[in-house]
Amino acid sequence: MKVTMILVIMLFMNNKHLLFSIVLALATFMSKMNFADTQWVSYMIINDLISFWVITLSFWIIMLISMIKTTNLNLQAKTSSFMLLILLLVFSVWSFFSFFMLFEMSMLVIVVMVMAWGYQPERIEAILFMIFTTTAFSLPFFVSLLKNFNHTNFWFMNINMFMWDYLSFMFIFMVKLPVYFIHIWLPKIHVEAPVQGSMILASIMLKLGCYGLIRMTPMSFKINTQWQSMILAFSLWSTLILSMISAIQIDMKSLIAYSSVVHMTTAFMSITLAKTKSLVASIMMMVGHGLCSSALFFTCNIFYKYSKSRSTLINKGILTNSPAVALLWFILCMSNAPMPPSINIMGEILTFKSVMNWSTGTIPLLSMVMFASSYFSIVLFYIPAHSKFSTNLKVPMLSTTKSLLVIWLHTAPLIMLIIKASTMEM
């Protein structure tokens, strides 16, 4: 009934009433789903606390994207509607096969957005790179899925996995996170994508990988336990290396994209531990990073509209005459670090605590990871806010009403969630 009502609302959605329709759909969805009834299963869909948070995040981001002015509002309404429908289904189905089909269909929306609103010829190369990378890991996964078709659903995954099945199931989600060595497609597509494409990609699409890994935890727990030391060592060193790579980026969108890989690798590490505390931490990081990264890409687009460049060298001191935007930029960068009062800090503390409980020998490496992952966020705030703006250009006023509203609607949930973080407990 809930899905039917939202579909009826979306049928009447057009470019003039896009925002109203999405808000109405969100209100309908939230009125039909709350914490009291997030534990049920039917023949088609499941609904638990993990689904609740990722679906709510999807609705919130799509609503904010509808507030962005673009050149083709009709196409934006159709792509937003299609993406909303796919995300609602992909986070609700219990069949692994249905999840996989919707999982791959969601990338079509990103392709349409990059081709329709991208402006660089290199966007075709980035799209092809993304498609070939995902396809290369999808084929082994599809073979394993057909092989274990009768046993692959999110509620009754009691099959004994062979190593080939385990690797195929892991890599299909690792490439969507993505993790180190198979992450190159993400900075490429972020650089070429429009602002709404980057917001969806960073806030929602990367969470598909985390969601799939969490769902297959009962199936992969045994092998994960056997290879836990290798997986954690790989994750920690990957996070440290990617943090140093982020610190030397000049392109602001590329820097934010690499920081997304850092946070998602941390989430991958917490999911691998498969403890209640670490799984709650992964959900906190998914929601917190989704809001934070989307706002960072939106604010970076504001810089680009005024300076016509994404370079940190050109955008030095661009926030000098915009104290309101500078304050929100500070909150977002510190949430990306992360620092209090963001929900991200709670997720990382629980993750690092779980890793230290596993082995106290990881403390030196964790200390370096914490410093390196905070450094590039501090640099990202310092350059636009406190550097000296070029004397050949006029310092712009960035604080329009709509831009402040969109940034604030990203920032407010990020802070308020930590007030009652117990709502994310599983």
Whole-angstrom distance, CA of residue 262 vs CA of residue 241: 9
Contact 318, 398 (CB under 8 A): yes
Question: What single-letter amino acid sits at 100?
Answer: F
Q: What is the pLDDT of residue 30?
A: 47
421 pLDDT more than 70: no
17 pLDDT more than 60: no
Query: Measured on CA atoms in the order 13, 17, 18, 24, is the torsion positive or negative?
Result: negative
Question: What integer is the mean pLDDT of 146-154?
Answer: 68
Q: What is the pLDDT of residue 240?
A: 92
Q: How far is CA 169 from the centre of its chain?
A: 20
Query: How many residues does this entry show for the chain?
Result: 426
Q: What is the pLDDT of residues 266-298, one digit of tens each?
A: 999 999 888 888 888 999 999 999 999 999 999
94 pLDDT more than 50: yes
Whole-angstrom distance, CA of residue 375 vs CA of residue 337: 8
Q: How confident is the model at residue 109 (pLDDT cuts 50, 70, 90)?
A: confident
Q: What is the pLDDT of residues 242-254, one digit of tens each?
A: 999 998 999 999 9
Higher-confidence residue of 147 and 325: namely: 325
9 pLDDT more than 60: no
Q: How confident is the model at residue 408 (pLDDT cuts 50, 70, 90)?
A: very high
For 397-413, letters b (16+ CB in 10 Å) and e give: ebbeeebeebbeebbeb
Question: What single-letter amino acid sits at 408?
Answer: W
Q: How confident is the model at residue 25 (pLDDT cuts 50, 70, 90)?
A: low
Q: What is the pLDDT of residue 289?
A: 92
Contact 253, 201 (CB under 8 A): no
38 pLDDT more than 60: no
1 pLDDT more than 50: no
Q: What is the pLDDT of residue 74?
A: 82
Q: What is the pLDDT of residues 348-389, one digit of tens each?
A: 999 999 999 888 888 899 999 989 988 989 999 998 888 777
Q: How confident is the model at residue 120 (pLDDT cuts 50, 70, 90)?
A: confident
Question: What integer is the mean pLDDT of 5-28?
Answer: 49
Q: What is the dihedral of CA 32, 33, 38, 42, to 10 degrees?
A: 40
Higher-confidence residue of 299 and 45: namely: 299
Whole-angstrom distance, CA of residue 343 vs CA of residue 335: 8
86 pLDDT more than 50: yes
Q: Give me the chain's average pLDDT, please.
A: 82
Contact 339, 206 (CB under 8 A): no
Whole-angstrom distance, CA of residue 55 vs CA of residue 92: 8
For 43-72, letters b (16+ CB in 10 Å) and e give: eebbbebbbbbbbbbbbbbbbbbbebebee
Residues 6+ away with beta carbon under 8 Å from 150: none
241 pLDDT more than 50: yes
- Global pTM? 0.88
Q: What is the dihedral of CA 74, 127, 136, 249, to 10 degrees?
A: -120
Q: What is the pLDDT of residue 57?
A: 92
Higher-confidence residue of 347 and 142: namely: 347
Q: What is the pLDDT of residue 425?
A: 62
Whole-angstrom distance, CA of residue 358 vs CA of residue 361: 9
Q: What is the pLDDT of residue 309?
A: 86
Q: What is the pLDDT of residue 34?
A: 47
Whole-angstrom distance, CA of residue 241 vs CA of residue 34: 40
Residue with tokens 């005024």: 306
Q: How confident is the model at residue 35 (pLDDT cuts 50, 70, 90)?
A: very low
Q: How confident is the model at residue 422 (pLDDT cuts 50, 70, 90)?
A: low
Q: What is the pLDDT of residues 310-355, one digit of tens each?
A: 888 888 888 888 888 899 999 999 999 888 888 888 899 999 999 9
Q: What is the pLDDT of residue 323?
A: 86
**Where are the chain's structural domains?**
2-424
Q: How confident is the model at residue 300 (pLDDT cuts 50, 70, 90)?
A: very high
Question: What integer is the mean pLDDT of 34-56?
Answer: 67
Q: How confident is the model at residue 68 (pLDDT cuts 50, 70, 90)?
A: confident
Contact 288, 414 (CB under 8 A): yes
